[in-house]
């Protein structure tokens, strides 16, 4: 049993080499095609980016030319009302609400807060069981950092007389 029969049913060495080379060539071809497609996509994206950049520059140029034109009276009025609306939205709500809540006595109910951003003024409609609580609110609001010029604008007892209604005004921001 020195030499056993060599039962090799596989392909011959030359055939295996050709198949290996064909497989490597096929993998290289697929890789090359994918790389080519990626490069083509990248170039297409670069062209689109350049076209969009040129369009953006064109739009900016048109915007600069349109800004040099004078506005009509109606457009000026609309721009003013839009600016007033934006100023109303620019109220520093967090600091304003925190200051009001910190100054509010327990028995005073703040019914509404009306900011007037153009003037830097805020009006508070409050209700309280007695005048002392409203006076405490006015005093406490005057002590809060973002508020100054705090005053009682009006107060009234309704016909049933159980709750005092008052309006307190204050300015917010930095002291002029």
pLDDT of residue 89: 67
State whether 163 and 100 are in the same domain.
Answer: yes
Q: Which helix (H) or strand (E) covers residue 135, if one does?
A: helix 131-143
Residue 78 inside a domain? The answer is no
pLDDT of residue 121: 87
Q: Of 12-16, 27-31, 51-55, 126-130, which range is least confident? A: 12-16
The token duo for 16 is 């295996």
How does pLDDT run across 149-168, given as a tens digit for each residue?
999 988 888 777 788 899 99
Residue 1 forms part of a structural domain: no
Contacts of 126 (CB under 8 A, 6+ apart): 108, 109, 110, 111, 134, 137, 165, 166, 167, 168
Domain check: are 101 and 161 in the same one? yes
pTM over cut 0.85: no
Rounded distance between C-alpha atoms, residue 144 and residue 40, angstroms: 65
Residue 175's nearest CA partner among 128, 120, 125 is 120
Tell me if 74 is assigned to some domain. no
The CATH number of the domain where 160 resides is what? Answer: 3.30.1360.100
* Token pair 């800004």 in the structure block, residue: 67
Tens of pLDDT, residues 85-113: 776 666 677 788 888 898 999 999 999 98
Residue 71 forms part of a structural domain:
no
Residue 136 lies in a domain: yes
What is the domain range of residue 144?
91-172
Question: What is the number of structural domains in the chain?
Answer: 2
């Amino acid at each position: 049993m020195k030499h056993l029969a060599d039962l090799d049913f596989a392909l011959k060495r030359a055939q295996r080499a050709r198949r290996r080379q064909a497989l490597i060539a096929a993998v290289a071809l697929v890789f090359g095609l994918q790389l080519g497609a990626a490069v083509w996509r990248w170039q297409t994206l670069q062209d689109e980016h350049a076209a969009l950049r040129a369009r953006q520059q064109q739009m900016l140029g048109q915007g600069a030319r349109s800004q040099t034109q004078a506005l009509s009276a109606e457009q000026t009025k609309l721009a003013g009302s839009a600016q007033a609306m934006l100023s109303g939205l620019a109220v520093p709500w967090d600091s304003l609400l925190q200051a009001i809540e910190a100054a509010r006595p327990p028995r005073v109910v703040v019914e509404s807060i009306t900011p007037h951003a153009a003037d830097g003024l805020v009006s508070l409609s409050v209700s309280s069981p007695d005048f002392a609580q409203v006076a405490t609110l006015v005093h406490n609001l005057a002590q809060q950092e973002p508020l100054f010029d705090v005053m009682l604008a009006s107060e009234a007892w309704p016909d049933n007389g159980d709750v005092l209604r008052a309006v307190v005004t204050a300015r917010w921001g930095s002291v002029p």
